[in-house]
Every structure is written in structure tokens, then in C-alpha cells.
Amino acid sequence: QVQLVESGGGLVQPGGSLRLSCAASGSSFSAYTMGWYRQTPGKQRELVAVITRDDTTNYADAVKGRFTISRDNARNTVDLQMNSLKPEDTAVYHCNADRLRSWGVRTMYWGQGTQVTVSS
């Protein structure tokens, strides 16, 4: 069992920055691919960024060059540094832990989310 708790959301002006943090409790954190997703009412939840066990990263086209995902396996945390924020970045951001075992069993955990609002 893994519990994920996000923090760092809030209200920021366009062009500003926020740093989201996801704290994980439980075992085998380093075995999970970690990700950040965002959800807006009436819109499908979308992948923002992921980081694998070996620190390989992937980003949604909409955030490339602006957002940076990182993880600290010693502290069981994953962060999302968000720069040059735009109003369209407004959403609830959720932390995700994803593990696919070699025999095909997939385990996923989700945090409750943190609200990010980009507005003047």
C-alpha cells in the first residue's frame, strides 16, 4: 500500500512559478514510475509528466520546456517545478505511482490532488 499526498498548489499570476511536491508513504517507492496528471472539470485527465525508476522523463507537449519533474528516492518524494505558468495550466494536479510487475499485474496509486490556479 502506498499513500500519496500532494502539496504546493495555490494561486499564481501568469508567468509565475509553483513547485508541487508529492510525498509517498509505504515501501518500494523506487520501483514505481511516478507521474503528475491534471484534471479540469469537463475535460479528460491528462498526463503532465512522468519519471521512471532510472530518471527518464517524459512531458506533455503543452508543458515541455516549462515544467520539470524530479524524484528523490531517499525521501520518497516527487516534485513538479512549474515555470512560466499559463491560465490553461489551471487544474487539479494529481500525483500517481505506477508499477507493472513482470507477470502483468499493475498497481497504481493516486493522491487526492492539489489545486493550481493561474490567474491575474
Look at residue 20 and tell me whether its pLDDT is greater than 90. yes
How high is the pLDDT of residue 38? Answer: 98
57's grid cell: 522523463
pLDDT at 60: 98
Question: pLDDT band for position 98 (50/70/90)?
Answer: very high
Could you report the per-residue pLDDT of 43-79, keeping only the tens digit for each?
Answer: 899 999 999 999 999 999 999 999 999 999 999 999 9
Residue 27 pLDDT > 90, yes or no? no
Q: Is residue 47 within 8 Å of residue 53, measured between CB atoms?
A: no
pLDDT band at residue 42 using 50, 70 and 90 as cut-offs: confident
SS3 content of the chain, % helix, strand, coil (to 5): 5, 55, 40
- Is-contact 82 89, C-beta < 8 A? yes
Cα→Cα distances 100→31, 33, 53, Å: 9, 9, 12
Q: How far apart are the first and last CA of the chain?
A: 40
